Structure 1
Amino acid sequence: MNHLTRLTGAALLLALTAAGCSGKATGGASQDGVKTGPGVTKDKITVSALTDLTGPYAALGKGVTQAQKLYYDQVNNAGGICGRKVELVVRDHGYDVQKALAAYSEVAPRSAALPQVIGSPITVALRQRVEADKLLTIPQAWAHTLLGSKYVQITGTTYDVDMVNAVAFLTGEKGIKSGDKVGHLRLEGDYGQSSLTGARHAAQKAGLTLVEQQVKPTDADMTAQVGAFRRAGVKAVLVSVSPKQAASLVGVSAAGGLNVPFVASNSAFAQQLLATPVGPVMEKNYYIVTAAAPFSMDLPGLKKLAGEYQMAYKGQPLDSAVLSGYSTAAVVGEALRKACAGKDLTREGIVNAHRSGKSPDLGLGSAPEDFTRWDVPAARASYVVRPDRKAVGGTSLVQKATESDLVRDYRPPAGG
C-alpha cells in the first residue's frame, strides 16, 4: 500500500467514525420506543465520575465514589432504570486539571451523565466542554461562580452562602459582635474566592473587620497565618481550606494560645482528622457549616443509609462525603427515571428531565432543592455541626438547617 492509499484509507475511516459519532450524538429510538444518546444502549446506561483518589481531597473522593457505587448497585439490584443496568465508570484525576481533561476526553463520549466531578478548578476547566456536549454534570464543588449553566448542577448551598450563615452563627451563638475582628483563612482559587465573597458580605452587614489570609494548595504549615491572626486580635476564624490545612491551623493555634472558635466550610473537614493529635482540639472549638445533615441525627433514612454503607464498606469512615455521594448519585438517578418516563434518554432529554423539578426526597435530612433554576444556589439553609469522635459519622448537630437573616437578602455580586 503506497502513501496516498494509506492516506485515503485513513480519511475514509475518519469520515465513517465521525458519521457514527454524529449518529450517536443526535440519538435514536430503541426497541422500547425510548430515544437514546451517548452512554445509553438497549441494556446499559453508563455514567462517569471524575474523582480525586490520590490528591488533597482523596478522603472526600473515596467516600463519594463508594457511596455512588452503593447507590447504583442498589438501583441495579432493583431492576435498573428504564430496563437498563447503570454502570459507573470511575477515573482518578488526583486534583490535577490536565489529568481531569484527559479523563474527560476518554469517558465523556460514552457517558449519559457525570454524577461526580471533584474540584472547582476541574469543573471550571471542563465547563465549556460539558456545555457543548450537553452533559448533565454534578460537581463535588460549591463555588457560586460555577452557577449559571443548565448542564452543571451545584447541589445544596454554595460556599459563599455557607460563610454568610457561618457569620450569623458566630454573632448569634458565639458572642461575636459589631466592631470585632474575624479571621478568614482561604485557599486560592474558586473555592476560597467564593467563600471570601460571602464572608466579606456578612462581615460588612454585621459590622465586623475581616482579617484575610490566603494559602496555596501546596502550603502545609499555617504558622505564618496563625501569627497574623494573633497579631490582629481576631475573636474567631472562618476556614475555607483543605482538611489537612485546617488541621495545621487548629493545631498551631492551640500551641500558640489562639483559643477562638473556628467555623469551616464543609470541604475543610474530614472524619479521619479525629484520629490525629489535633482531633481533641477540633472537638472543642471547631464547627462545620454544611448543607448535609450529620449521620448522628435521629432520622430513619440516615440510619438506613449508615447501615447499608457500613455493610458494603466495613471500617470505612461514615461522613458527609458519603451523604454527598449518595444524594448526588440519586439526583442523576431521578433524572434518568424522569427521562425514561418521557421516552427521551438523550443527553438533552436527561438534562430537561432534571431541570423540571426539585430534588428527590431520600429522607436524609437535606433541605429541598430547586433544580428549575441554575443561576442561584439550589438551597440556602445550612446546618452547623461539630467534630465528635463518639458520634455516628464523626460529627454531631449544633444547629439545625437554618436560612439566616443575613443570607435571606444575600445575592453574590455579578462576576463573582
Structure 2
Amino acid sequence: MKQNKFLQIVAALAAPILALSACSGAAGSGDVPGVTDEKIVLGVNADLSGPAASTGIDATKGFEVYFDWLNDNGGVDGRKVEVISRDHGYDPTRALSNWQRFVKQDNIFGGMCFGTPSCVSVAPQIIANKRPHIMISQAKAFYEPQNDYVLINGIPYSWEAAITIDYIEENYHPEKIGVIYQDDDFGRDGLSGAEKAAEHYGIELVTEGYERGSTDFTAQVASLRRKNVEWVLTSGVQVEPAAIMSKIADLGWDVKIGSLVAASVQPSTIALGDSEDFEGFIGPTSWAAPTDDVPGVKQMLERAKKYAPDHEVGTYFIYGYVNAIIYAEGLKKAAEADNLTPEGVVDAWYQIKDLDTQGLYSPISLSREQPFPGDSASILEYKDGAFVKMTEPTAPKSLD
C-alpha cells in the first residue's frame, strides 16, 4: 500500500479522535495551545523501550539537551521551553495513546516524533490540530504531498539507499544484490530507492521482507544465499539488521554486507551483536559523528556533558539536537514577528536559509518546494572496531 493512501486511511480511522483532540487542545492555555507568558510546551513521542530504543533515547536526549541549554540562555522571547517525552515502544497504537495525552493533558504546542510506523499513525492528527512537528523519519509519507505541520530533517530514505547502491556500483560492480527489508513504510522506502538505482545500473535485485519485530531470519538469509547474491543489504532499524548479520556469520557465509539506510549505521547496532560480524558493514549517513573534529560537535558535547552527563552521545543525539536547533529557530523568528503561533512557526521554518550548524549538518535551507534540508550523504564502513568515512557527501546519481 502506498504511503499517501495509508495516511488517508489512518486519517479516516482517526477522525473521531481528531474531533475530540481539536475541542480539548486549547484548554487552560489562552489562544495558542502550549504557549503562555512563561513557557512553550513541546512533546517528544519516541521509542524509549522497543527495538529502536537506543536511537530513540539518543535523539530524545539531543532534543532535550539543546532546549535545556537554550532555557539557561534566555529561552524564546523570555519563555522557557518545556519538553515532555513519552515512550511509544515503536508501537503505532501506543503513539496514538501518547498523542491523546500530549493534547488533552499536556496541551503541547508541537514537538518531535520518532520512527516511521508510529509517526505515520499520528501525522493526520498533527496536521489536523496544527501542532508543528519535526520527525525523526525521512519517509515519503511526510513530504508527499507537502504539508505545513510535519517537517523532516535529513534526506529521504530512498535517496540514502540510492547513494549506497551508487557507491557499491562504483567500487564493486556487482551483478546481483540481496536486500532484506522491514515490510512497512520505513523499510519499503529504502527498498524503493535501491530498486530504482539497481535498475539504472542493470543490477539484479533479490528481495526478502520481514515483519517488524521478527527474530528469526534463517529463511531470508538462506534464500539469498541460494540465489548467489554478492551483497546483503538491510532496510530496517537496528535490532533486526543486527540479527541478520549474526545469522550470516553463523552460517559462515562470506558475503559483503551493509545497510541501505542510516538507521542501522550506528555503534548501537554493532553493540547488539558480535562486532566481528559487522566487519566491512557499509551504509549512508548525512550527519557528523560524535568523534568529528568540528566546532558544532565540540560545543554539543560540552552541553551534553552538562545537561545529560550520564548519556553516551551517539549519531542520533546529533539528529535530535539539530531538530531542536531548527525548531528553536522557528520559535524565535515567530516571536520576533509577534506571531508565536503554529502558522508563524511554520512560516519561519520555510524562510530558513543556510542555517549554520557548525559542521553537525550541512547548511540548512527549507522551502515548501523542498521541505527537507540537503541532498547528500557520505558512506561509512565498519573497520577494526569503528565506522570510517569512505566518501565525502554526495547526492544520488542514479535517481531521475
Which is worse superposed, 141-150 or 353-362? 353-362
Tell me whether 1:65 sits opposite 2:60 in the alignment.
yes
Which is worse superposed, 104-113 or 92-101? 104-113
Q: CA deviation at 1:64?
A: 1.0
Q: Would the alpha carbon gap of residues 49 and 169 (structure 1) be closer, same or farther in structure 2, given more than 3 Å must change?
A: same
CA contact (8 A) 2:243 2:273 kept: no
CA contact (8 A) 2:188 2:235 kept: no
- Of 164, 172, 176, the match for 2:173: 176
Mapped to 1, the partners of 2:193 and 2:292 lie a distance apart of 27
**Which residue is 2:243 aligned to?**
248
Which is worse superposed, 329-338 or 120-129? 120-129
Q: Would the alpha carbon gap of residues 276 and 92 (structure 1) be closer, same or farther in structure 2, given more than 3 Å must change?
A: closer
Tell me whether 1:158 sits opposite 2:153 in the alignment.
no
Tell me whether 1:131 sits opposite 2:127 in the alignment.
yes
Aligned length: 374
CA contact (8 A) 1:269 1:288 kept: yes
Pair member with larger Rg: 1
Q: Secondary structure at the match of 1:185?
A: strand
Mapped to 1, the partners of 2:198 and 2:231 lie a distance apart of 12
Q: Secondary structure at the match of 1:212?
A: strand
1:354-398 CA-to-partner distances (Å, cap 9, x unmatched) read 12223631113412343212566432201112346765xxx3322
Q: CA deviation at 1:150?
A: 1.6
**Which residue is 1:209 aligned to?**
204
Mapped to 1, the partners of 2:312 and 2:173 lie a distance apart of 33
CA contact (8 A) 2:318 2:360 kept: no
Q: CA deviation at 1:93?
A: 1.2
**Which residue is 1:405 aligned to?**
397
- 1:28-43 equivalences under 5 Å are 37-43=32-38
Q: Secondary structure at the match of 1:88?
A: strand
- Of 108, 117, 121, the match for 2:117: 121
Tell me whether 1:274 sits opposite 2:270 in the alignment.
yes
**Which residue is 1:301 aligned to?**
296
- 1:184-263 equivalences under 5 Å are 184-263=179-258
Q: Secondary structure at the match of 2:45?
A: strand
So what's the TM-score if we normalise by structure 2? 0.87
- Of 337, 357, 367, the match for 1:342: 337
Instruction: Report percent identity of matched pairs.
Output: 26
Q: CA deviation at 1:162?
A: 0.3
Mapped to 2, the partners of 1:334 and 1:122 lie a distance apart of 26
Q: Secondary structure at the match of 1:297?
A: coil
What amino acid sits opposite 1:330 in the alignment? I
Q: Unpaired runs of 5+ in structure 1?
A: 1-16, 28-36, 411-416
Mapped to 2, the partners of 1:272 and 1:293 lie a distance apart of 16
Which is worse superposed, 298-307 or 215-224? 298-307
**Which residue is 2:100 aligned to?**
105
Q: Secondary structure at the match of 1:285?
A: coil
So what's the TM-score if we normalise by structure 1? 0.84
Q: CA deviation at 1:119?
A: 1.7
Mapped to 1, the partners of 2:101 and 2:281 lie a distance apart of 41
**Which residue is 1:9 aligned to?**
none
Mapped to 2, the partners of 1:235 and 1:111 lie a distance apart of 49
**Which residue is 2:8 aligned to?**
none
Mapped to 2, the partners of 1:48 and 1:389 lie a distance apart of 39
Mapped to 2, the partners of 1:98 and 1:337 lie a distance apart of 33
CA contact (8 A) 1:334 1:360 kept: no
Q: Unpaired runs of 5+ in structure 2?
A: 1-21
CA contact (8 A) 1:354 1:371 kept: yes
Q: Secondary structure at the match of 2:44?
A: strand
Mapped to 1, the partners of 2:72 and 2:384 lie a distance apart of 34
Q: Would the alpha carbon gap of residues 258 and 390 (structure 1) be closer, same or farther in structure 2, given more than 3 Å must change?
A: closer
What amino acid sits opposite 1:54 in the alignment? S
Q: Secondary structure at the match of 2:95?
A: helix
Mapped to 1, the partners of 2:55 and 2:354 lie a distance apart of 22
Q: Secondary structure at the match of 1:405?
A: coil
Mapped to 2, the partners of 1:359 and 1:285 lie a distance apart of 35
Q: Secondary structure at the match of 2:391?
A: strand
1:277-333 CA-to-partner distances (Å, cap 9, x unmatched) read 521221x21112121122232212112223432454345332111110100011111
What amino acid sits opposite 2:161 in the alignment? M
1:102-136 CA-to-partner distances (Å, cap 9, x unmatched) read 2112213522221x211212222212211111121
Tell me whether 1:46 sits opposite 2:46 in the alignment.
no
Mapped to 2, the partners of 1:336 and 1:376 lie a distance apart of 17
What amino acid sits opposite 1:172 in the alignment? E
